[in-house]
Amino acid sequence: AAPAPPVTSSRKLVLLGESAVGKSSLVLQFVKGQFDDYRESTIGAAFLTQTVPVESGNFVKFEIWDTAGQERYKSLAPMYYRSAHAAVVVYDITSAASLLKARAWISELQRQADPSIVVCLAGNKLDLADAGQRQVSTDEAQKFADEEGLMFAEVSAKTAQGVEDMFKRIAERMPVDT
């Protein structure tokens, strides 16, 4: 029989985490392959899309929602993540406080999001580990992710290390339409 034609499934992905951990930078690196040291913090960026081929021969089209920096001023409306298929909860490996904030976001998702949501804990700014600035060990974060049944990645939006691989792994976990 002729192979089934490829199917593209749209999936909503949100980024959560403390302000300045690099959420917007991760999106920019993933979607445009760019990094900007002096970029103004997100103001009103709506959403971006990126399509990823998956093993089955199909495609996952991520609709990526950035918080537009709202977490800085007020709490995010649950509607932002309630209908999400995937969430990347970002912390900064040079900030132990940002991991605490990530833990709080994960509890929030466990309370409010769809139980089938795929969650990835992402330790960003991996490029700063070599400069001796690391405050969160890989082991500590991996152990937490394992306990909570989350995916885990350490990444750098600056050097692009691990970024594509992380989104690709998330895409592989997305159910696709048939």
Positions touching ligand GDP (CB under 6 A) are 19-25, 37, 39, 41-42, 124-125, 127-128, 156-158
Residue closer to ligand GDP, measured from CB, 108 or 172: 108
Residue closer to ligand GDP, measured from CB, 9 or 156: 156
Residue 23: CB minimum distance to ligand GDP, A: 4
Residue closer to ligand GDP, measured from CB, 66 or 170: 66
Task: Name the nearest CA neighbour of 23 among 86, 89, 107, 103.
Answer: 89
- The residue type found at 89 is V
CA distance 101 to 122: 12
What 8-state DSSP symbol labels residue 6?
Answer: P
Residue closer to ligand GDP, measured from CB, 88 or 145: 88
Residue 127: CB minimum distance to ligand GDP, A: 5
Residue 166: CB minimum distance to ligand GDP, A: 12
Find where tokens 């920019």 sit. Answer: 28
Burial 115-129, CB ≥16 within 10 A → b, else e: eebbbbbbbbbbbbb
- The residue type found at 75 is S
